[in-house]
């Protein structure tokens, strides 16, 4: 086994070496203070349309959860406050249920300015606040309310040329002419089960499509979806708070049941006439994406069948009313959706991403559907298309060509063969935003023990300036703890089918000779996620805290995880909780070879899919995992939604056994060691019912277990007090069962 194991470490920044040896020990209370130990790295970074400004959201010093809009001005090289959120609206926000749900789906948390849009000319900004829309003029620094109604306005944006603002109100699509101030209602039948221009639940939660309407570039037309929710099963969902129970009638598409009925139309701005597009005889489908071609008369949309094994990119000509299938993607398992479609200014070509060769790569097509060439190749994945410089014939993309552990910006020729060239520096994980003129990019970089820093760079990678250096100097809140942070060890293991899996190992700073240490395996294990990277995550600080308490923390990205290609993902198809458990067992077998690991004190902890994995490993592999903590777990996939669940398990009518064997209940009698389950009692993603069903079965089988529930908490269990209590509870659980004295 040792011959198949590869070990390596990633160096920490030089700043660590200069910190005094008497550094402080981390505490749970300190971990969850606001601002966090990671410093005040800005979020939602954008370039202004002309590239002269970089704008970003930053929390106020006196209230880090309330965000203002800041700018770095490239003309005078100055960071400054651009818009104070309190100057727009200072009272407590009142949000509609729809907006609350949108924010939950987008994982947007906080107050003040949380979203903003630039006009195309860069002269104005649009802010949604407290259910209304605010128009801010850059030159004068003045704002005005565009709407002031009892109704709530959502999904607001400028039109492509900046002459209109569009939005959704009471499930209908509206525009405001910014010159005349005239408001026009484009759809009339919205309300009840009918929603115009809005993304349905599974589109938001599972397809990352947060909108249901799209402007043409000439501002003459808007494509939009019309959804009818009447076929979707109506369920009563409860949210339990400390002093009340709220009941919601919610149409939730449980796997195997009916989805919304969806139509796709194009409405003309001048007369509000709607043309409906023929989507075909099969009505049980998904509309995954929509984009306009540069000719402003052709709409592209991505049609996906219910099984998600077929995806068609279709072009609809709004003048001739004809359509064609430009290309078709098929899979024996499932097709991962993406946003990597770009129509070129020459009106003849477009760039598209596909996993047809087993790895996500970029392809160049003509608009008639003819493939020109494959742009990128290799046993590595493209993450996202960042931009195309048509004049120079260069494509910019984020990818994992050098290592699966780091994301980098690359360039590659558009029309001719050539190797992809890395632009960002190795040794860090990079999230980038490319300017529209392809001359500069925002580089947000971090490593496992270095919190994010944000720089402005030229497109060749040359440094221009810091937007937020976040330097680990004497003033940084993390500095007093640096010399006590463990340098994690990275390595690889082989799965049963020979594929390479990456792991990460946090150890106590000083291992005593002959001493055996307890291990906590931290797991997620599900699709579209990756935990073992050389990047900063605030969760890493909790692992550092546990290491200081005398624990070894082990993470392994099992098969089914993301950013490794489809061959690595596909083994989970139609049977969840099988290969993932087998791979985590491989991890424990490796841990047992380490002389400092106590094989009788190896536990597991995970949240969401990781909570599901904690249950499956405790139930199916109790000889390997001696204690477990399961957070907000899925227990029965029949309780989850159509698009996510059927993607991996197929339809319940055709894979009944797969659903049964992927639930935790058939294996609960295998529980041997101590188990704790925690869940937010207002969770609207993995419903609290998942936990209560398991509580009942374990009680019926006289299986002892511990539980902790959090009134009012959603799936992410946010808030300093909740997070502090939760992590203290997890730590105390393992301390008790692994006989560890708290430090």
Catalytic residue, from 608, 630, 662, 713: name it.
Answer: 608
Token pair, residue 218, equals 């000439």
Q: What is the C-alpha to C-alpha distance for residues 32 and 381, in angstroms, rounded to an integer?
A: 35
Q: Has 683 been annotated as catalytic?
A: yes
Q: How far apart are CA 51 and CA 9, in angstroms?
A: 39
Q: Which of 68, 340, 557, 683 is catalytic?
A: 683
- Taking alpha carbons only, the member of 158, 170, 263 closest to residue 215 is 158
Q: Is 651 one of the catalytic residues?
A: no
- CA dist., res. 724 & res. 731, Å (int): 11
* Catalytic residue check, 430: no
CA–CA dist 272, 294 (Å, integer): 22
CA distances from 569 to 359, 404, 564, 605, 623 (A): 11, 14, 8, 22, 27
| Residue 188 structure tokens | 């009339």
- Nearest Cα neighbor of 108 from 124, 128, 91 is 128
Catalytic residue among 430, 679, 690, 715: 715
For tokens 């805290």, the residue is: 545
Q: Where are the alpha helices (DSSP H) in 574-622?
A: 579-591, 609-620
Concatenated DSSP letters for 211-276? -SEEE-TTSSEEEEEEEE-TTSPEEEEEEE-SS-EEEEEEE--BTTS---EEEEEEEETTT--EEE
Q: What is the dihedral of CA 249, 252, 258, 264, to 10 degrees?
A: 100
Q: Measure the CA dihedral 101/106/111/113, to 10°.
A: -120
Burial class (CB in 10 A: 0-12, 13-18, 19+), 270: exposed
DSSP 551-562: -EEEEE--TT-S
- Classify residue 208 as exposed, middle or buried by CB count within 10 Å of its CB (0-12, 13-18, 19+): middle
Active site residues: 608, 683, 715
């Amino acid at each position: 086994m040792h011959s198949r194991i590869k070990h390596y470490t990633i160096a920490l920044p030089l700043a660590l070496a200069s910190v005094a040896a008497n550094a402080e020990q981390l505490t749970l209370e300190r971990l969850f203070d606001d601002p966090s130990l990671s410093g005040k790295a800005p979020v939602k970074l954008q370039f202004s349309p002309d590239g002269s400004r970089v704008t970003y959201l930053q929390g106020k010093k006196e209230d880090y959860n309330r965000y203002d809009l800041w700018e770095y001005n490239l003309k005078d090289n100055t960071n400054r406050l651009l818009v104070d959120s309190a100057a727009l609206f200072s009272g407590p926000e009142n949000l509609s249920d729809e907006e609350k749900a949108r924010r939950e789906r987008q994982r947007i948390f906080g107050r003040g300015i949380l979203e903003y849009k630039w006009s195309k000319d860069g002269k104005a900004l649009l802010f949604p606040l407290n259910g209304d829309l605010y128009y801010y003029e850059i030159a004068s620094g003045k704002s005005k309310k565009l709407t002031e109604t009892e109704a709530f306005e959502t999904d607001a944006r400028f039109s492509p040329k900046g002459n209109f603002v569009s939005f959704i109100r009471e499930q209908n699509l509206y525009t405001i002419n910014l010159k005349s101030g005239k408001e026009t209602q484009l759809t009339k039948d919205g309300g009840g089960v009918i929603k115009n221009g809005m993304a349905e639940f599974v589109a938001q939660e599972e397809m990352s499509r947060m909108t249901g309407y799209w402007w043409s570039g000439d501002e003459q037309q808007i494509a939009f979806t019309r959804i009818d929710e009447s076929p979707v099963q109506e369920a009563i969902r409860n949210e339990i708070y400390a002093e009340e129970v709220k009941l919601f009638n919610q149409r939730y598409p449980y796997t195997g049941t009916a989805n919304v009925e969806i139509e796709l139309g194009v409405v003309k701005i001048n007369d509000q006439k709607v043309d409906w597009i023929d989507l075909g005889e099969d009505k049980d489908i998904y509309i995954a994406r929509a984009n306009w071609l540069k000719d402003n008369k052709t709409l592209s949309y991505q049609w996906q069948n219910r099984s998600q094994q077929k995806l068609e990119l279709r072009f609809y000509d709004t003048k001739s009313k004809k359509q064609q299938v430009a290309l078709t993607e098929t899979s024996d398992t499932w097709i991962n959706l993406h946003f990597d479609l770009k129509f070129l200014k020459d009106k003849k070509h477009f760039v598209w991403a596909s996993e047809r060769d087993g790895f996500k790569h970029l392809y160049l097509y003509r608009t008639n559907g003819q493939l020109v060439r494959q742009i990128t190749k290799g046993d590595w994945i493209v993450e996202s298309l960042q931009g195309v410089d048509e004049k120079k014939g260069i494509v910019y993309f984020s990818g994992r060509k050098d290592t699966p552990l780091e994301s980098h910006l690359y360039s590659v020729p558009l029309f001719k063969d050539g190797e992809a060239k890395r632009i960002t520096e190795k040794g860090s994980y990079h999230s980038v935003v490319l300017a529209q003129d392809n001359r500069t990019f925002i580089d947000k970089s971090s490593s496992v023990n270095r919190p994010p820093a944000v720089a402005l760079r030229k497109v060749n990678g040359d440094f221009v300036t810091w937007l937020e250096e976040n330097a680990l100097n004497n003033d940084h809140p993390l500095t007093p703890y640096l010399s006590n942070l463990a340098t994690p060890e990275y390595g690889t293991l082989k799965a049963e089918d020979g594929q390479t899996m990456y792991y990460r190992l946090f150890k106590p700073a000083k291992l005593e000779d002959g001493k055996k240490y307890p291990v906590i395996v931290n797991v997620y294990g599900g699709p579209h996620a990756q935990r073992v990277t050389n990047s900063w995550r605030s969760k890493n600080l909790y692992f550092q805290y546990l290491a200081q308490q005398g624990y070894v923390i082990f993470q392994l990205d099992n098969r089914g995880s993301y950013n490794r290609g489809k061959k690595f993902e596909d083994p989970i198809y139609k049977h969840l909780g099988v290969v993932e458990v087998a791979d985590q067992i491989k991890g424990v077998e490796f841990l047992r070879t380490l002389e400092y690991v106590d094989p009788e004190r190896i536990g597991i902890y995970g949240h969401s899919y990781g909570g599901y994995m904690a249950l499956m490993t405790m139930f199916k592999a109790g000889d390997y995992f001696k204690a477990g903590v399961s957070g907000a777990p899925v227990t029965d996939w029949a309780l989850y939604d159509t698009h996510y669940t059927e993607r991996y398990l197929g339809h319940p009518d055709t894979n009944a056994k797969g659903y049964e064997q992927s639930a935790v209940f058939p294996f609960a009698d295998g529980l041997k060691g101590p188990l704790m389950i925690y869940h937010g009692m207002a969770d609207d993603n993995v419903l609290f019912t998942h936990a209560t069903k398991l509580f009942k079965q374990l009680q019926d089988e006289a299986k002892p277990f511990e539980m902790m529930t959090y009134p009012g908490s959603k799936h992410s269990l946010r808030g300093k007090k909740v997070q502090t209590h939760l992590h203290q509870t997890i730590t105390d659980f393992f301390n008790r069962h692994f006989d560890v004295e708290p430090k």
